[in-house]
Amino acid sequence: MAILSSRVNQSDQKRSNSAKISNSSSEIENGLEKPEYLSRPKSLDQFIGQEKLKFFLKICINASRLRKDALDHILFFGQPGLGKTTLALVLAKEMGVNCKVTSAPNLERPRDIIGLLMNLKEGEILFIDEIHCLKRVTEEILYSAMEDFYIDLTVGANRGTRIRRVNLPKFTLVGATTKLGSISSPLRDRFGICQKIDPYSINDLEKIINQFGKSFGLNFTENAIYQLASRSRGTPRIAIHLLKRVRDFAMVMANNLNINEKLVNEALEQQQIDAKGLDLSSIQFLTFILNNYDGGPVGLETIAAGLGEESSMIESVIEPYLLQLGFLSRTSRGRVLTKSGRNYILGK
């Protein structure tokens, strides 16, 4: 139940929230007009990778169209940079509706989410990024909105207090999170569809790099694309970032936009990114455990103190990819280098 003070001019509040929504939408549209965004997919068929997920979503979309109803609420989870926001925008285009985009940290007060909900139209999609960061009072407002499409507002003060029920159009909430376990059960259970987005294969990353490279006016050799894809950690966002840095290197050092394997290697060596996609921080992490603790086990806080890094940064940024590669193991006694991790560092 949300509380609105009788002192607040509700029409002013509504205008403020409407402006907030339109600004969010225009930022997305303006972004898509830039050359580097021209290759963003406009449909599920254009979206590269995630074949099983796309097949499932197509069934859900077609079923919704046959029912002439809104999509069920959808929760995407997975590591950053895999395309959760892009998928939400693609779903909106497939359904022929608008997509309102926001992030949980922006929803500081109850009236922020109320304004967004009351401005939605029938069938529209509300995308909330990092939804695990929602404050408890904001989350509770979503319960009735998601399940029964209404919100209860408490207006007035003292003896004049009254409850006003506001019916909402049927909409689709698409949530994205990198921390599924941090979402409360009541909120998670209200999503009809909960799907993981997996890291991309090298083949899919090659297609993405080639597609975005064309929008930059780049010419690749086959080996150059492979080198970029193999160092992208299975993440399109990283692949595009590396592509931009290689483009800059080519423009300055080679004075053209022809990208070959040698140029890619030189550009990424300048950024201290090795053949596995490990950066300097990851190498220092593995080397620290091997040299100082004979490969472990060693506690996270000890590693953080030794490297001069925050433990949260190590846990959320450095370790996930090392675990994915099989170079690191988390045990009850601490972090331990695997045989593969040990051999990789010794071979450098």
For residue 152, how many C-alpha atoms fall within 13 Å in the half-sphere facing its CB? 10
Q: How far apart are CA 138 and CA 132, in angstroms?
A: 11
Helix/strand/coil for 150 = strand
10-51 tens-digit pLDDT? 444 444 444 344 344 434 444 444 545 556 788 899 899 999
How deeply is 171 buried, as exposed, middle or buried, from its count of CB atoms within 10 A (0-12, 13-18, 19+)? buried
Catalytic residue among 112, 129, 204, 279: 129
155 strand-pairing partners? 4, 162
All structural domains of the chain, each given as residue ranges with its CATH number in brackets, are: 2-196 (3.40.50.300), 202-270 (1.10.8.60), 280-346 (1.10.10.10)
Query: What mean pLDDT, rounded, does the chain reach?
Result: 83
Q: How far, in Å, CA of 264 to CA of 270, rounded?
A: 10
CB 192 within 8 A of CB 72: yes
Q: Which of 14, 20, 54, 237 is catalytic?
A: 237
Catalytic residue flag (residue 154): no
* Per-state percent for the chain, helix, strand, coil, to nearest 5: 55, 15, 30
User: pLDDT tens digits for 293-333?
Assistant: 988 899 999 998 988 888 888 888 888 889 988 999 998 88
Annotation marks residue 335 as catalytic: no
Query: pLDDT band at residue 153, thresholds of 50, 70 and 90?
Result: confident
Nearest to 342 by CA among 277, 303, 296: 296
| 178 is annotated as an active-site residue | yes
Q: Are 200 and 209 in contact (CB under 8 A)?
A: no
**Predicted pLDDT at 157:** 67
222-230 vs 236-249: helix axis angle to the nearest 10? 130
Give residue-wise pLDDT tens across range 89-139: 999 999 999 999 998 988 888 888 888 888 889 989 999 999 998 888 888
Angle between helices 261-270 and 236-249 (to 10 degrees): 100
- Catalytic residue (choose from 154, 178, 221, 338): 178
Q: What's the pTM?
A: 0.79
